[in-house]
Structure 1
Amino acid sequence: MTFTGLAADELEARGGGWTAREIRQQPAMWAATEQLVQALRPRAEAFLAPLLARTDLRVVLTGAGSSDYIGRSLMPDLLAGLGRRVEAIATTDLVVGGAQLLQRDVPTLLVSFARSGNSPESVAATEIAEAHLAECRHLIITCNGDGALYRRHHGRPGSLVALLPEATHDRGFAMTSSFTSMALAARRILLPAQPVDIARIGAAADLVSADHGGSLSAAAAGGFKRVVYLGSRGLAGIADEAALKLLELTDGEIVAMAQTPLGFRHGPKTFVDGQTLVVLFLSNDPQARRYELDVAREIASDGIAGRLLVLAGQGDGLDGLGADLLPGLEAASDAELSFPYLTWAQAFALGGSLALGRTPDNPSRTGAVNRVVQGVTIYPEPGRA
């Protein structure tokens, strides 16, 4: 049972069984992903060591939609941890602007994220990179062994493929366990010296799914028409994904926005009205946290938003703010916080979808939006066959 209060059979009847299971299964998928990464480690080290030894290496994190947001959430930590140039560029940008976004004489590791690997842009982006780069290597992280991206790169020289447990290939419309498991896999492959406490984040995610602090039920009871997610640094990518989950699962009926806390002041704050829920993913980093708490206090004192909710791992400075302090995360890194924070957003989106009478496993009423993107034509680039 989720915080919705619905038993498994009722969730199934209302078209939300897969989505609910895939949200709840994440702690188990994180443990399974960690085991997979450990088994892959000798091959990963042999593949990555000569690349990362090059000071001129460029690492490009790519994917479409949610898979793009994985890269955005990872980029700051990878930039700091690898000491190399790291950028997140969506496949949807690479297919229309590869000549501008790729630098031929800069050796590049293209890290591709794909739940199914069947979106037309997924394979096209890797082919465009190879056409435009003198030296291109691939790290493929995917959940589908039958996908076109996996089939093209598995066993291929210059490619390392991490195929995640089959259960992470979400059957529901929206990416949930696939997102968090691919993010974890990339982090553990590329930053092996920076551990992630799987037990700690799994326990926190279980409490979130069970609505231990009551914030999910309280937020759902507000009947909000707009939601803003705020996050800094890597948590900005988590805010992007949280907003997309709500849009997807409510079929656009609840309008969602993602911003950084400081950027929110520069115009986007006009989005807020009395029917708006503002959710802040509060950092555990002392410097980022000071700025974020200033913004939270400003929003609270304005009295314009319908509700402010601060999700936090540490309790300092939360007096007077609507806060849900997640147990056991006082010493967690922001990377670790991202997993239960996103679990909260996924569960909230599921509840919002059900409350509106949508079917979360297939929420698009018109069929205009699909689980795997359709209708994309990949055109040859000028001067290339």
Structure 2
Amino acid sequence: MSYTLEEIRRQPSDWATTTELLLNQSEQWRQLFAEKNYENLYFTGCGTSYHIAIVAAYLFQEVTSIPCKAVPASEVLLMPDQMINRKANNLLIGVGRSGTTTESVEAIRKFREEGFGDSLSIACQSQAPASAAASFAIELGHVTDRSVVMTGTFTNLVLATQLLAGIVADNAAYVQQLQLLPEIGLRVLQSSESIAERYGSDLNIRQFIYLGLGGYYGLAAEAVLKLKEMTQTPTEAYNPLEFRHGPISIVDANTLVTLFQSDKAPQVQVDVLKNVRTLGGKTLVISDVDTDEPCFALASNVPDTVRAILYMPYAQLVGYHRAIALGLDPDQPRNLSHVVTLSL
């Protein structure tokens, strides 16, 4: 079995460990946020980790009501005054798999040392350079990706930020729902396998579009990246309604448009897919309940602020099965390495 497939399938088990780790630290983080009373949170990362930042910023703000923003680590590092309000009481939350990516480590260090505010590193490696550079650190040392492509690390890092939000907001009901995800995720993963293989292996589909609203745009962007990394297939991500404003012109009979449907204005999101089909494109809705559209229902019975990571095993498996169908090695994608380091 490839590393990539094993790591995708292992996710629900790792989610249980991540949940236990964060809950054991609850009092520490609750006290910190109460004492600091941060006015703004900035989530940052590179590549997949920037997509985590997008998801986390939207969900964290909804759960805690603290203003949150996602910023690429390179922009925190190179043009901070266009990104950060120096006059506010700020916290930068840097997320990453290894905690060694150059831009992320240096952005975390710069933010703290140049007086923009405190910094928190959340990384899937013990004693990571990002942890040493930050004011505070959370380390998910139990989560590892041997494959170049980030899969389990993505969902575990998102889950860590969700748990942190629930702890900070003192929202016991939200945290309890997050604790259900490992069990729900095992079932969702199993039901994802066949449908992901069906679409991923269909070489008549030559273009993939993923749509997501709000924080789910970060999920769509990550689904796109998995396909690009593993297969170099043309694929793009959009906000559902923004897709109508020009990009829908690329739809043809060989296009599959997949919607990660959230609970916000669900019918408005689905109406975009009806437009796609009038243009000859194929569509798929991934939602929590069955719809009249071609649909994969998660059936999680938890709200969209909780279930975000449940969408990702499907998208990761589409990339994996597409790579296999094309005769590619999903563990060793073209032109990529496990960690990006730069001379800055």
The normalised TM-score by structure 2 is 0.92
Which of 255, 262, 270 matches 1:276?
255
Determine if contact 1:27/1:198 at 8 Å carries over to the other structure.
Answer: no
Determine if contact 2:287/2:298 at 8 Å carries over to the other structure.
Answer: yes
Do residues 103 (structure 1) and 85 (structure 2) align? Answer: yes
Determine if contact 2:44/2:92 at 8 Å carries over to the other structure.
Answer: yes
Which of 317, 323, 326 matches 1:356?
326
- CA change 1:356–1:211 in 2 (3 A) is farther
Which of 192, 206, 220 matches 1:239?
220
Aligned equivalent of 1:178? 153
1:63-142 to 2 correspondences below 5 Å: 63-133=45-115, 136-142=117-123
Report Cα offsets for 1:45-74 as digits up to 9, x if no partner.
22211223x5xx111001111111111112
Do residues 191 (structure 1) and 160 (structure 2) align? Answer: no
Which of 279, 289, 295 matches 1:323?
295
Aligned equivalent of 2:340? 373
Secondary structure of the equivalent of 1:133? coil
Say what the alpha-carbon RMSD is for the aligned residues.
Answer: 1.9
- CA change 1:273–1:147 in 2 (3 A) is same
Report Cα offsets for 1:143-167 as digits up to 9, x if no partner.
01142112334xxxxx22111132x
Displacement of 1:360 in angstroms is: 1.1
Distance 2:234 2:182 in 1: 29
Task: Name the amino acid aligned to 1:164.
Answer: L
Aligned equivalent of 1:151? 132
Which structure: larger Rg? 1
Distance 2:252 2:115 in 1: 48
Task: Name the amino acid aligned to 1:76.
Answer: Y
Distance 2:141 2:112 in 1: 28
Determine if contact 1:47/1:160 at 8 Å carries over to the other structure.
Answer: no
Q: Where do 5+ consecutive residues of structure 2 fail to align?
A: none
Displacement of 1:23 in angstroms is: 0.5
Secondary structure of the equivalent of 1:338? helix
Which of 253, 264, 276 matches 2:243?
264
- CA change 1:326–1:80 in 2 (3 A) is closer
Secondary structure of the equivalent of 2:258? strand
Determine if contact 1:29/1:165 at 8 Å carries over to the other structure.
Answer: no
Distance 2:22 2:239 in 1: 31
Do residues 222 (structure 1) and 202 (structure 2) align? Answer: yes
Aligned equivalent of 2:311? 341
- CA change 1:79–1:226 in 2 (3 A) is same
Task: Name the amino acid aligned to 1:210.
Answer: Q
Distance 2:112 2:59 in 1: 26
- CA change 1:196–1:213 in 2 (3 A) is farther
Do residues 160 (structure 1) and 166 (structure 2) align? Answer: no
Do residues 50 (structure 1) and 32 (structure 2) align? Answer: no
Which of 18, 28, 32 matches 2:3?
18
Secondary structure of the equivalent of 2:79? helix
How many residues are aligned here?
338
The normalised TM-score by structure 1 is 0.83
Displacement of 1:247 in angstroms is: 0.6
Q: Percent identity?
A: 27
Secondary structure of the equivalent of 1:118? coil
Displacement of 1:282 in angstroms is: 1.3
Report Cα offsets for 1:24-50 as digits up to 9, x if no partner.
111011110010001111211222112
